[in-house]
Amino acid sequence: MRILLIEDDTVLGAAIRDQIAADGQSVDWVMRLDAAGDAVKSASYDLILLDLMLPDGRGIGFLKGLRARGDVTPVIILTALDQVSDRIEGLNAGADDYLVKPFDLAELSARIGSVARRYSGNPNPIVCHGPLAIDLAARSVHRDGKPVALTAREWALFDAFLARPGQLLSKAQLEEKLYAFDAEVESNTIEVHVSRLRKKLGSAVIETERGMGYRLGRP
């Protein structure tokens, strides 16, 4: 997944960013609502983590604006506001979950996984795909019962295919999943990672539509 983090606390923001990266997801981190608005206009996100109290306004207004435009990107609110009325306001504005600071980073990872599975139509964290058993919550893969080690980038790409089974994903869409990782995305990065995934998970796991993109192969 590619996640947008909107958080102005530099210590907490860095911790969340590192946790998401360790989980094999990519993250773009901004500290202001105006930057967040620019980000959602220029990129496609699978999830937004939203603080409510930001230097240039309240996150609730940002969330209401998203929903008013028909943007259904999942949103998890991260805030120190712990009153029941605050929770109700956030959920009524269109949030998918509400996490009160301070929180455990492992719980945040679990909440992210839960929301992602719900939106991908996969409430069960264990997915079977041919000889593969994929634990979406643990971000682990077993092939014929044996564990397969995937790098963070490989998981980010594989997760993109799992979230959209049967859907053709363009090279540009897949590159977006990698932009938040520190290393530069080269012109052949997607081809290299797809090749590595095929070697690790099976040659048929990803199908190529020449000149158009890639899709998850049939089990």
Global confidence as pTM: 0.62
On whether the CB atoms of residues 66 and 93 are closer than 8 A, the answer is no
Full 3-state SS string of 149-167: CCCHHHHHHHHHHHHCCCC
Positions of E strands within the chain: 2-6, 26-30, 47-51, 53-54, 57-58, 75-79, 97-100, 126-129, 132-135, 140-143, 146-148, 206-209, 213-216
pLDDT digits (tens, 9 = 90+) for 6-36: 999 999 999 999 998 888 788 999 999 999 9
The phi, psi pair for 195, rounded to 5°, reads -60, -40
Could you read off the pLDDT of 109-132 as tens digits, one per residue? Answer: 888 888 877 766 555 567 788 899
C-alpha dist (Å) from residue 177 to 4, 70, 129, 167, 218: 11, 23, 22, 16, 22
The predicted structure's pLDDT at residue 181:
63
C-alpha span between 75 and 166 (Å, rounded): 25
Ordered domains of the chain (ranges, CATH) = 2-119 (3.40.50.2300), 126-216 (1.10.10.10)
* Interval 160-210: pLDDT, tens: 888 777 788 898 888 877 766 655 667 788 999 999 999 999 999 999 998
Measured CA to CA, the distance from residue 13 to residue 145 in angstroms comes to: 37
**Residue 59: C-alpha distances to residues 47, 88, 90, 91, 202 (Å):** 15, 14, 9, 12, 44
Which phi and psi (to 5°) does residue 131 adopt? -80, 0
User: Which residues pair with residue 6 across a beta bridge?
Assistant: 30, 50
With beta carbons less than 8 A apart as the criterion, state whether 57 and 33 touch: yes
